[in-house]
Structure 1
Amino acid sequence: MGHGGGDVIQELTTDHREVAELFGRIEGAVPGSEERKRLADELTIELVRHSVAEEQHLYPAVRKHLPDGDALADKEIADHGRVESLLKELEKTGAGHLDFSHLIVKLRTEVTAHLRDEENRLFPQLRDACPQEELDTLGEKIRSAKKTAPTRPHPKSPSTPPANKLLAPGAGLVDRARDFVTGRGK
């Protein structure tokens, strides 16, 4: 996701567009189909990588640069927790199960509200408060973090530094090995 480069806000906004597009593809796929499950797995991988990268790099910058940064970052991390719980539930649910479509709708509602909040509130404040050079550096860090981030939801993992920076790459390695063996995300 978000392979375009640019600063942290451009990178994450690109991710947001790709997530919205994936939701559209899931909703357009035949209910109960393997394609729908495959797309849901792809969505899960992208959302988990995105969330982990934000928690490692974006939210510490929010805490540092914005006057109400702690409260903002805590709210965003709480949003991630709700999304990860839904993703964990979705991971265990077959595409043919009655709950699958319901979970997709709940997930889309939660994710859309979170993305809108970041884009309309958090990103403009960060752009105003943070030097461009730091925004560019954060963009690089986000791209790098997504390469080693977990690809499966881990709702019980730490979401704040330093523990998240220490544990996420290991979880990511295990997740990518599981993905390779099972063919998930291909």
Structure 2
Amino acid sequence: MTVSITGQDAAVLGGQGSILLRQRRDHADLDAMMNRYLRGQGTTRELDDLWQDIVQLVFSHAFAEETVLWPLLRRVCADGEALTARVEQEHQAINELVARIEHSPQDDRRDEWIRQAFALISQDIRDEEDELLPCLRDTQSDRQLQRIGAAWEAVRATAPTHPHPRVSRRPPGNALSGLPLSAFDRVRDLLPATGAAGRRAALLVGGVAAAAAALVLARMAARRRPDR
């Protein structure tokens, strides 16, 4: 019988560093931040900053899942294909909704869209903790869970931090896009988000970073190509 990882202690979930603990920690952080946002306590600037923190965590977390965890789950779980396909659909819906929010900052429906995004994120957390992640506990040793956790953390630390709805949810498509998209996103995160000038600067500098990263990828691919 599938047992949710929610509420389980560290030893049951594979010890410190386990992917299950890392996932649950991020989920708890997201829950806390979404609740703070919905309470509306703080200035407009503080709430905007909190929203950006939520977005950055959501998308780096999801990218690492799609790159490291879901391919493994499809191999080791009898119903892994169906389960990961459902969660990938949730991720795509979140991508599309947050992209709409980012592209329409003055839209009167923004607050409604944010609440919809939070509902989707909460459902995604429940599906992962109740159905997908227990399969890793059932099929992997504590040491394996810790190794998976380290790999997931490394990918998350360098993952894109904003929505990219047109990017594949599965490797190798998402992994090939990850470097230039991460460069683009992380430059944007360092620049002021308010005002047309700030947005233009983010797009310009982020675009340069993305182009540079794409050039690095192309050169790496060329070096790997066998001589004819």
Q: Report the TM-score when normalising by structure 2.
A: 0.73
Identify which of 35, 43, 52 aligns with 1:24: 35
Partner of 1:151: 161
Identity of aligned residues (%): 26
**Residues 17 and 149, structure 2, Cα contact 8 Å, conserved in 1:** yes
Shift of 1:86: 1.3
CA distance in 1: counterparts of 2:38 and 2:143, whole angstroms: 39
Greater RCO structure (CA 8 Å; 6+ sep): 1
* 1:56 matches 2:67: yes
Q: How far apart in 1 are the matches of 2:101 and 2:30?
A: 16
Given that residues 51 and 80 in structure 1 are in contact (C-alpha distance below 8 angstroms), is that contact kept between their aligned partners in structure 2? Answer: yes
Gaps spanning 5+ residues in structure 1: where?
none
For the pair shown, which has the larger CA radius of gyration, 1 or 2? 2
1:102-153 C-alpha deviation (Å, 9 max, x unpaired): 1121111111111011111111122102232221111001111111101111
C-alpha separation in 2, matches of 1:38 and 1:86: 18
Cα contact 2:84–2:132 (8 A) shared by 1: no
The one-letter code sitting in structure 1 at the alignment partner of 2:167 is S
TM-score of the pair, normalised by structure 1:
0.89
Residue number in structure 2 paired with 1:45: 56
Gaps of 5+ in 2: 1-15, 195-228
- Code of the residue aligned with 2:77 in structure 1: it is L
Tell me if the contact between 1:29 and 1:35 (Cα under 8 Å) persists in the aligned partners.
Answer: no
**Helix, strand or coil: the match of 2:130?**
helix
Total equivalences in the alignment: 179
Maintained 8 Å contact 1:93/1:99? no
1:175 CA drift (Å)? 0.9
Q: Which residue of 1 aligns with 2:47?
A: 36
* Distance in 1 (alpha carbons) for counterparts of 2:41 and 2:63: 30
Other structure's SS at 2:180 match: helix
2:138 equivalent in structure 1: 128
CA distance in 1, matches of 2:147, 2:41: 41
Distance 1:55 1:157 in 2: 12
Shift in Å at residue 93 of structure 1? 3.6
